[in-house]
Amino acid sequence: MKRLFLTITLCVLGGLAAFAQSELQPAAIVNLTKSEPITVKQLRTEVERMEKGSGRPLNAEERRQVLDVMINEKLALQAAERDKITISENEINQQFQQLRAGMVQAIGRQPSDAEFATAVRNQTGLEVPAFREQLRRQLIIQKYLLSKKQNVLESVEVPSEEDIRSAYNLARSQFVRPDTVRFSMIQINYGADAAAKTKAKELADKLSREIGASPSKFDEVALRGQAPNSGYQAGDGGYLPRNPEAQQIVGAEFINTAFNLKQGEVSKLMEGGRAYQIIKVTEAYEMKNLDLDDIFQLGTRVTVRDYIGNTLLQQRQQEILAQASQELVTELRAGKTFQVFEKNLSW
């Protein structure tokens, strides 16, 4: 019996060792400036991420396309390193700020770190550190592309007024601003333990009783919340649209409460996002079909005309960028700059 157990154990260990070894086999080797493998494990990880995002398994041709993208990325990164092209942490941080600004537009307030991490995970399948590294690689490649294809990229024509008006008329029904409110918020955060939550609830109840339904009392309490060691936070919550995206983040109770208040009214005490909250609506906007000269994004000076013009310009830039990228990939793939191991691509 012991011999049989030992035999089974050795077989299992042998199988695991063989699997681990096969995972470390190269799916491809890129050698533009140095020999750099793409392992089977790296390819499988990327394929599985793509499959999770699409909700279906990838076929053999699609797996090969994933490998081609990985090869192209390594070729471009090696070429950028050769040409001493780098990206600073500040440039990466600026991109993160832009992504957060996009969330602000969607939910009407600054997202918490946890909310931002969840959005990144849902959109990319990556945790924030891995996404940051992916972004760094993409920015390096983008800068390298700009250095090599600047003349092509500068050929993009700025959209004319006729182009903008034509695009607006085609999508006019989509330019609708939903019911939107701007609010001030008092927020009492609490941690994961019960004692911290109990303490926060006591403070929240005290503030709620002090405020009642009085807008002026709300302002007094909010002003105190901006002082150090107040025990809570207070300030402008931004613009909140009534749409599914915002509700998914702030919750149905928050949305329903905010839109049942009139301008100047104060809410009841609410709980959500590991915090107790009281809000006061400071501005209210009804749903509206937007014209070209209407403000597209509340709180900014960006009109519908500006938004369409920028969108059309970005679309044209993306088309030119795709053309320039393909030219660059063709140049980098010329010669024996990579090798694919077909026998290692089946699993």
Q: Phi first, then psi: what are they for 295, rounded to 5°?
A: -70, 125
pTM of the model: 0.60
Q: What is the pLDDT of residue 108?
A: 62
Which CATH code is given to the segment(s) 176-289? 3.10.50.40
- Quote the tokens at residue 99: 């992504």
Could you give the percent of the chain with pLDDT greater than 70?
93
Strands 26-30 and 36-39, sheet pairing:
antiparallel
Q: Which residues pair with 288 in a beta bridge?
A: 177
Mean pLDDT of 295-300: 90
The helix (run of H) or strand (run of E) holding residue 24 is: none
Q: Put residue 108 in one of left, alpha, beta given phi > 0 → left and psi -120 to 50 → alpha.
A: left
Q: Give the model confidence (pLDDT) of 89-136 as tens digits.
A: 999 999 999 888 888 777 767 788 888 899 899 888 889 999 999 999
Q: Which residues pair with 239 in a beta bridge?
A: 182
Dist. CA 103–CA 112, nearest whole Å:
10
Q: Phi first, then psi: what are they for 40, rounded to 5°?
A: -60, -40
Which band of pLDDT confidence, cut at 50, 70 and 90, is reported for residue 258? very high
Q: 3-state class of 31 per DSSP?
A: coil
Closest to 338 (Cα-Cα) out of 134, 147, 82, 67: 67
Q: Give the model confidence (pLDDT) of 288-297 as tens digits.
A: 999 999 999 8
Q: Give the model confidence (pLDDT) of 218-227 as tens digits.
A: 999 999 998 8
Q: What is the pLDDT of residue 53?
A: 85
Report which residue type is found at 73: E
Across the chain, the runs of DSSP E, i.e. the strands, are 26-30, 36-39, 176-177, 180-189, 233-241, 270-271, 275-285, 288-289, 338-340
**Domain ranges (residues) in the chain:** 176-289
Residue 156 has pLDDT above 80, yes or no: yes
Contact 145, 134 (CB under 8 A): no
Dist. CA 328–CA 332, nearest whole Å:
6
What is the residue whose two structure tokens read 């090696």?
78
Closest to 37 (Cα-Cα) out of 46, 27, 45: 27
Other residues' Cβ atoms within 10 Å of the Cβ of residue 280: 21
What is the residue whose two structure tokens read 């699409």?
54
Q: What is the pLDDT of residue 110?
A: 78
Q: How far apart are the first and last CA of the chain?
A: 34
Q: Put residue 235 in one of left, alpha, beta given phi > 0 → left and psi -120 to 50 → alpha.
A: left
